[in-house]
Structure 1
Amino acid sequence: MEQIQAMIEKLGLENQITLEEIPQIDLYMDQVIQLFENKFGSSKRNEEEKVLTKTMINNYAKGKLFFPIKNKKYSKEHLILISLIYQLKGVLSINDIKETLFKINEKMSMNQFNLDGFYESYLHVANKNVENFRLDVVEKSKDVKKEIDLLEDAEKGDLQKILMIASLVNMSNLYRRAAEKLVDEISITQKRKEK
């Protein structure tokens, strides 16, 4: 149980870029990368992993995942969208992210959306998700231990970890599939409006 708590603490689950941390001035790409590296660097799986690169940002721009930049500078709104993309890309494809953010980008292009308010709501939901995750992982750990205790095997420690991994991956897949279904619904709605 203590191992699970220690593992959860190392995940850096609370790492989110808050509105207060986003500069009020537009940033160049290198500054954007540095901001993300400073914020999310501690939650990387290993040193080789990159939080954000120029190629990633350029691909997001080419894929129209966010509205066009001006004068090679990224506004506060771009940083919010890049932060959302950073969170979404762990589960969704680039096309799914584009579909998900399409309406927001469309409204931003017409200056008809309070992105700050939306992002603040996202941060509140994300914080609640972290709390729920902590409780859920502890409960799953107890369930896994009960199942492993029923086995007659000398290497229960490794088997317990393997079963825990399988359980977490299963839950992740369930959540991913639900998210993809919602993306599909957004996509269908968009296509109907285009007709």
Structure 2
Amino acid sequence: MAEFDQYHRWKNQIRELRIPHWSELPKFDLYMDQVIAFINDALGPLGVDPMTPAMINNYVKHQVILSPVKKKYQTMHLADLLLIGLLKPLFSTDTIRNGIDQVTAGDFPKQAYDNFVDALNDALAHIGEQHDVKVATTLNEKLMQVAIDAVISRIQSEKLLTMIQKPARRVKKI
């Protein structure tokens, strides 16, 4: 029973979390260490693995994100990295990039990002309960909803697994 109470406390904490909208992202260029701090502060409470400079450099090398301008990262970079951080445990970087490109082909990047964040924040606010979600009217909206459902399911399942796992018994060596 104590474990279930712990789960409810965690669920209530998650419901308070919010991923920042485009207008809440820094409006000035950031260096790598600032980007790392920003991304990890935003996603860390969701149990997302920390992002590292090597990961970001790899994303640039493989053209998952645009190259920084004079080693400085802009708002678009931050939005992409937040999405990659959320989706990377579930999808390949190629799939993530293709999804971002598809969604932003029909909408401005700022609006597409904010639509995703609105739906994700709504799902976080209702984590662990049934609630009405906006019915998708386009394939892009459906794609975003399915991705958000996958993120929410991953966050919950990983937390539940860590809460119910029993420490492995050690076998004595003879």
Instruction: Show CA shifts across 1:64-114 (max 9, x none).
Output: 112232211111111111111111112112222132223468x6xxxx962
Matched ranges for 1:8-47 at <5 A? 8-11=11-14, 14-44=17-47
> Match of 2:128, SS?
helix
Equivalent residue number for residue 153 of structure 1 = none
> Match of 2:127, SS?
helix
Q: TM-score if structure 1 supplies the norm length? A: 0.56
Equivalent residue number for residue 77 of structure 1 = 76
- Take 1:38 and 1:127, find their aligned partners in 2: how far apart are those partners? 16
Instruction: Show CA shifts across 1:88-146 (max 9, x none).
Output: 112112222132223468x6xxxx9622111111111112222443314xxxxxxxxxx
Q: What RMSD, in angstroms, separates the aligned Cα atoms of the two structures?
A: 3.2
Q: TM-score if structure 2 supplies the norm length? A: 0.61
User: Are 1:63 and 1:98, in contact at CA under 8 Å, matched by a contact in 2?
Assistant: no
Counterpart amino acid of 1:31?
A: Q
Equivalent residue number for residue 52 of structure 1 = 51
Matched ranges for 1:1-195 at <5 A? 2-11=5-14, 14-44=17-47, 50-103=49-102, 114-136=108-130, 172=153
RCO (CA 8 Å, sep 6+): is it higher in 1 or 2? Answer: 2
- Take 2:21 and 2:38, find their aligned partners in 1: how far apart are those partners? 12
Instruction: Show CA shifts across 1:147-179 (max 9, x none).
Output: xxxxxxxxxxxxxxxxxxxxxx9x948xxxxxx
Instruction: Show CA shifts across 1:12-57 (max 9, x none).
Output: 7724133243111111111101112332334447xxxx52110110
User: Are 1:17 and 1:83, in contact at CA under 8 Å, matched by a contact in 2?
Assistant: no
Counterpart amino acid of 2:65?
A: F
Query: Structure 1 residues 104, 30: CA separation in 2 closer, same or farther (over 3 Å shift)?
Result: farther
- Take 2:21 and 2:128, find their aligned partners in 1: how far apart are those partners? 21
Q: Percent identity?
A: 25
- Take 1:37 and 1:121, find their aligned partners in 2: how far apart are those partners? 21
Looking at secondary structure, tell me which structure has more helix per residue. 1
- Take 1:102 and 1:121, find their aligned partners in 2: how far apart are those partners? 15
Query: Structure 1 residues 4, 34: CA separation in 2 closer, same or farther (over 3 Å shift)?
Result: closer
User: Are 2:88 and 2:96, in contact at CA under 8 Å, matched by a contact in 1?
Assistant: yes
5+ long unaligned stretches in structure 1: 137-168, 174-195
Equivalent residue number for residue 160 of structure 1 = none
Query: Structure 1 residues 58, 24: CA separation in 2 closer, same or farther (over 3 Å shift)?
Result: same
Query: Structure 1 residues 27, 12: CA separation in 2 closer, same or farther (over 3 Å shift)?
Result: farther
